[in-house]
Structure 1
């Protein structure tokens, strides 16, 4: 798969896994993200290695945010671990990140995109995400 990059207002979203600072991703997610609190480094690294990673980079090259898409590239995609560093919030980077993920050429024509969120419903609603049409059809194992 070819690398995919989009630049806007000096910020770049890239799928280059080599650019991601996984130590920083782990440090932030395991201490600040409610869904990943206490997650070991090895688990974060493995989760990004087996997903399509997206990094957001500031004009100086610093990592400003990230997300990943878990997908079969044919039917389903699941958006996970969306994060923008506090020092870069308020600039529309989460919108830029989601927009870029949805525009990725290898993710076009999928039947279903899913995600879970506790507090960002407004962000995802802008891109057509809605509550489950029939939650009785979804199940989970914890």
Structure 2
């Protein structure tokens, strides 16, 4: 398991730390998962690599999920940071934590976004279309 401390918050890939209620609630308000049932979200967590961001005084403040074959590619999805924590580098650190992970080295990365192209471009993703981006193996 990996863990990184950033002072006011930390990032972990330990699924036992995840607050599933927080994740379901946030995703139910998102533009990409607002039609997804809570049961489907929980199943997606169970079947994916997951990354949580946690603040000592607030609990879970961010999340991301990775779907992968473990060899050639990964799909980064369901990335969110609580509104109160945006603009503080949390999203940047979360993406860096994921793309720099040893288990993702040498793999192609994929994702879809409507509004965060700049964030992902700074981590090697390139636009493939209006919404999709890819990251060639590094």
Query: Between Structure 1 and Structure 2, which shows a larger proportion of strand residues?
Result: 2
| Pairing 1:61-140 to 2, within 5 Å after superposition | 62-110=59-107, 112-132=108-128
Q: Secondary structure at the match of 2:11?
A: strand
Q: How big is the shift at 1:99?
A: 0.1
Structure 1 stretches of 4+ with a deviation exceeding 3 A read none
Secondary structure at the residue paired with 1:113? strand
CA distance in 2 between partners of 1:6 and 1:78 (Å):
22
* Residue in 2 that maps onto 1:37: 34
How many positions carry a matched residue from both structures? 129
**TM-score, structure 1 length as denominator?**
0.86
CA distance in 2: counterparts of 1:8 and 1:27, whole angstroms: 25
- TM superposition score normalised by structure 2: 0.88
Inter-partner Cα distance in structure 1 for 2:86 and 2:73: 29
Deviation track 1:84-121 (CA, whole Å, cap 9, x = no partner) reads 001111111000000000121222221x1000000100
Structure 1 Cα separation of the partners of residues 124 and 104 of structure 2: 16
For structure 1, list consecutive stretches of 5 or more residues without a partner in the other structure: 134-142
Q: How far apart, CA to CA, are the structure 1 residues paired with 2:103 and 2:94?
A: 16
Structure 1 counterpart SS, 2:92: helix
Unaligned runs of 5+ in 2: 130-138
Q: CA RMSD in A?
A: 1.4
